[in-house]
Amino acid sequence: MKNLTHDSLLSLEDYEKQREQIKTDVINHKKHRSVMIGEHIILLFEDLMTIRYQVQEMLRIEKIFKEEDIQEELGAYTPLIPDGNNLKATMLIMYPEVIERKQMLTKLNGIENEVWICADNQKRLFAISDEDLNRSNDKKTSAVHFLRFQFDDEYVKSIKTATKIDIGTSHCEYEFSTKLSDKVCRSLLDDLD
């Protein structure tokens, strides 16, 4: 696994010069790392490239250049980079209308614990959610969650050789699944090396 360090970041000046090209590259990269589950949930699978971009953007926006502040940002974001035996994703629950979104975040309470992946119709493996902090309470869930699909060596092998990988949710108010496209599968398999 490659790690994100201060040395692998661009200075604010260099990042500003290259920002438009980097942004275009990341947008193109994310096309094969985004998965819709039903009409209202998207999983954005993170990796070194997506997290480096997020860190660089935060440093730029906040005008962070001090070593200790950069380390703080790295500490916050590097846990979102997969480390060889897992996939990590940002889950967004999206309802455009504010009233409907509030209602659905109440109805979908706990959905972050009901997201699964399944290789070749094997047993569903459920994601571990929000390890950094709790984003839900007893009344509602959050619109954003961070997920980790943790695999043992056997499951990594089965995913690498799978002919079909499904991902879905098993919440009583939102039960959907989708088959991952070949391009998404190829991109995610890079995270398991």
Contacts of 95 by beta carbon, 8 Å cutoff, 6+ apart: 40, 101, 104
- Tokens 């056997």 found at: 154
What stretches of 2-149 show up as alpha helix (H) in DSSP?
12-30, 48-62, 67-77, 98-107
Among 14-23, 129-138, 153-162, name the one with the lowest average pLDDT.
129-138
- Tokens 């942004």 found at: 23
Q: What domains can you pick out in the chain, each with its CATH number?
A: 1-30+48-81 (no CATH), 35-41+84-193 (2.60.40)
- Cα-to-chain-centroid distance, residue 39: 17
CA distance 184 to 98: 31
CA distance 2 to 20: 24
3-class DSSP assignment, residue 93: strand
The sheet that has 115-119: what strands, in order across it? Answer: 125-126, 115-119, 165-171, 174-179
CA distance 192 to 83: 7
What is the mean predicted confidence (pLDDT) over 149-171? 95
Distances (CA, A) of 61 to 12, 14, 16, 75, 114: 10, 14, 11, 18, 34
Contacts of 87 by beta carbon, 8 Å cutoff, 6+ apart: 45, 117, 148, 149, 151, 188, 191, 192
In this structure, how many other beta carbons lie within 10 angstroms of the beta carbon of residue 52? 21
| Model pLDDT for residues 57-81, shown as the tens digit of each residue | 999 999 988 999 999 999 888 999 9
Q: Is the pLDDT of residue 138 over 90?
A: no
Q: What pTM was computed for the model?
A: 0.90
What is the mean predicted confidence (pLDDT) over 14-30? 96
Q: Give just the sign of the alpha carbon dihedral 20, 84, 87, 35.
A: positive
